[in-house]
Amino acid sequence: MDRRLHTFASARGSVVTSAQAGALDVDESALRRLRRAGELVRVRRDAYVLGEAWAAATPEQRLALRTRAILATRGADVASHQAALAMQGLPLYGVDLVTVDVLTRTRRVRLAAGLRTHPSRPGGEHVVADGYRCVPVAVAIAQVTMRDGLMAGLVPLDAALHRHRCSPGEVRSALDERATTARLRARRDALLRLADGASESVGETLTRLALVDAGLPVRSQVEVRDPAGRFVGRVDLLVGDRVVVEFDGAVKYAGAEGREALVREKRREDALRALGYLVVRVTWADLERPGAVVALVRRALTGLSATDGRLSAS
């Protein structure tokens, strides 16, 4: 690849436009060659992403790349909805990861070629992420919640609260502006009631929601101590007083460091069981059937009740 073009795009979030490439003396025929070679990926007319960045990106990161590339071609437009959340590095769930939403000068919502344009609000606030304009986190969460539902809003909200990227008050204000019907107001209230900034992952959020929906008492990120007050561990979720629910979302036990982590995890679980806790592990595959997760936890609670909360460490 042309060295100047690569340097230019790398400094702008791995994106470049046809006009910018032309200013660097890279013409359309050269852009076509770069596309055929996989060194550039065209995400929309005149909007390109470096192939190396695209290949290494997750679906959420690809949405951020696509958004940056499109914004680079559209002047004063502002990324919105999940495009804004992806730009700001927040997790997404249950939303379109291909279409880019922007606020612009238009009278109504339009969708064409992977770009959805929305009317911008007079005096609407925006922030800058990696050099590109997007709506604030609280606004984007409200937009996604109102359009795509509770779970779509809860996943990024938990993460945003955990990372101190917004406050509950900011989210409430953004939701209040957009909750124009009784159904949307009920969704707003449910989102604010269920939000938990202690949650540390998407899997924890979804597991907690399944258990809460089943009427089970759940607390996030609970410190467990032995009778002498010594710290034993922090657990993802605690149901009732003695059922620990841990979410295993990624392969994290590879290599020497992974083996050491596995040993530490086993010791921690042994210590928890010795104190009378029962540990239930949940994976992404389990979350495909949340009812089965709930049933597993209920069986654990029943087993504890039958033994008066005292289980063996085996």
The string of pLDDT tens digits covering residues 124-160 is 789 999 889 999 999 999 999 999 999 999 999 999 9
Q: Report residue 26 as tokens.
A: 């890279």
* Confidence at residue 102, expressed as pLDDT on a 0 to 100 scale: 97
| Mean pLDDT value of segment 189-199 | 97
Rounded to the nearest integer, the mean pLDDT of the chain is 91
Which CATH number fits the domain 202-306, given the four candidates 2.60.40.10, 3.40.1360.10, 3.40.960.10, 3.40.50.620? 3.40.960.10
Q: Please name which of 91, 194, 181 lies closest in space to residue 144, comparing C-alpha atoms.
A: 91
* pTM of the predicted protein model: 0.90
pLDDT at residue 313 is higher than 80: no
Percent of the chain with pLDDT over 90: 83
Q: Report residue 252 as tokens.
A: 């994290």
Q: Report residue 33 as tokens.
A: 């060659």
Q: Report residue 249 as tokens.
A: 């979302």
| Mean pLDDT value of segment 72-85 | 95
Alpha-carbon distance 242 to 114, whole Å?
A: 49
Q: Report residue 260 as tokens.
A: 């050491």
Domain layout of the chain by residue ranges: 1-56, 57-194, 202-306
Alpha-carbon distance 12 to 127, whole Å?
A: 16
* Confidence at residue 111, expressed as pLDDT on a 0 to 100 scale: 94
> How much helix, strand and coil, in percent to the nearest 5, is found in the chain?
50, 20, 30
> At residue 115, what are phi and psi to the nearest 5 degrees?
-125, 125
* Confidence at residue 1, expressed as pLDDT on a 0 to 100 scale: 81
Per DSSP, the residues of 194-215 read: H--TT--SHHHHHHHHHHHHTT
| Mean pLDDT value of segment 105-134 | 91
